[in-house]
Amino acid sequence: MNIDLIELGGTKVLLTNCEDITERKKAEKKKKESEEKFRYLFENSPNSIILLNLEGVIIDCNNATEKIFGYKKEELINKIYTQNSVIAPRYLSEIKNKSKEIYKGEVPEPIEIQVYKKDGSPVWVNMQFALFKISKKKFIQLIIQDISARKKSEEEIMELEKSLQEIHALNETAPLGIFLLNQKGKILKANRETENFFNYNREELLTHNIYELFDPEFIDVIKKHYEEDIYDLSIPNKVEVLIKAKHG
């Protein structure tokens, strides 16, 4: 509402202008609520969220960013995110290419890279890129998830697989007959030398129980050793028995 004092026919009067601003107030309220919601989600996200301007300068980051990287927010604000010791150098060119994709209006695929905390310790992260607007200004949003635990598990699995492959290779070339059995004595795997010992091919051996390959006189001895003695480290892990080859 605007009120002006004017003269009309020699008489001073008040001129009042009224404008319906209901819709504007609703829009302002909606905008404020959206900003508050964004701020809440931003600060409480379990993932690091970093806002950059189009020059790559950090203008804001959330609490999770401090937890992942070990830097206070004040140490990151106004810094160019690629010009510090946080990102491992070997990934810088890939990140710059992702930024170029954003400028072209494309949606880059997430990348998995290694970054460094303030204390220098490495952290594996998944980094996603997005372009969005705030008050008609364009910004780049980085969403960063700590995947160190997953990467560690993957590395442990790879090491285990490598060890198993090495064991398998040793088993195959060993001059001894080697079986892999389940708890009931069912043959699950057999190496090459077992074929020479028993005159069965490996496909045939996998249809047998280990007890079927020994002289009946020794089956009780083998069962006791396999089901009981093998778990007692004080008992020698070795028995001498008579085998039963394919043709008797």
Query: Which pTM does this prediction carry?
Result: 0.60
- What are the start and end residues of each CATH 3.30.450.20 domain in the chain? 45-173, 176-248
**185, pLDDT greater than 80:** yes
Q: Which residue type occupies 119?
A: D
Domain 176-248, CATH number (from 3.20.10.10, 3.40.1210.10, 3.30.450.20, 3.30.70.360): 3.30.450.20
What is the CATH architecture assignment of 45-173? Answer: 2-Layer Sandwich (3.30)
**21, pLDDT greater than 70:** no
pLDDT value of residue 13: 61
Give CA 14 to chain center in angstroms.
Answer: 70
Cβ-proximal residues to 57 (8 Å cutoff; 6+ apart), any chain: 78, 79, 80, 81
Q: What is the pLDDT of residues 45-82, one digit of tens each?
A: 899 999 998 888 999 999 999 999 999 999 999 988 87
Q: How far is CA 76 from CA 61, 86, 113, 174, 176, in A?
A: 8, 10, 19, 59, 63
Q: What is the pLDDT of residues 114-125, one digit of tens each?
A: 999 999 999 999
